[in-house]
Amino acid sequence: MLKKILKAIDTISEVVGKAFSFLILPVVLLEAVEVVLRYGFDSPTDWSWELAALVSGGMFVMGGAWVLKENRHVRTDVFYAKFSPRGQALIDLIFFALVFFPFVGVMVWKGIDKAIYSVSILEETYSMWAPPLYPLKITIALAFILLCLQGLAKWIRDLHFVIKGHDL
């Protein structure tokens, strides 16, 4: 049963991360159109850079859980790489408990709080275009929930590996 739950978390992280990664295509197209309009026709838009920033922000945060699943987060591994796999799992257990979970827990708590407030006031940016900001705040909250779940899956796997000596 535990394997199925962990596999489901992995699948959700990967599917969501890959789906959001494709947002880079409209961002690149949007930026290219803006450059052509600005420098080719001397007619810049008021909204393209802000839209690109909003879409890129959502894309980056939603990739976090997938990157954790694939163990691709940046790590200074001068000492870490010298430990055995069991030692690395033990280090991860400790640091996840002391650093990762408190940080992600606060981000989930505040992210949900800010998303609910943003939706309640139909928050917009402060630019002249003033697009809605609440979709990004909802995305940020969901991204940290997914990151927390993926972190929990990794922590459970590391705990199992430290105790049993083999992967779960």
Tens of pLDDT, residue by residue over 59-93, are 999 999 999 999 998 877 888 889 999 999 999 99
0.75 exceeded by pTM: yes
What pLDDT, on a 0 to 100 scale, did the predictor assign at position 78? 83
What pLDDT, on a 0 to 100 scale, did the predictor assign at position 49? 92
Tens of pLDDT, residue by residue over 10-24, are 999 999 999 999 999
Q: Looking up tokens 């909204």, which residue turns up? A: 47
Domain locations along the chain: 2-68+82-164
- The pLDDT of residue 58 is above 80: yes
- The pLDDT of residue 168 is above 90: no
How far are the Cα atoms of 135, 141, 153 from residue 132, in angstroms, in the given order? 7, 16, 34
- 86 in Cβ contact with 165 (< 8 Å): yes
Confidence of residue 118 (pLDDT cuts 50, 70, 90): very high
Q: Using CA atoms, how far apart are residues 35 and 55, in angstroms rounded to an integer?
A: 18
* Mean pLDDT of all residues in 121-137: 96
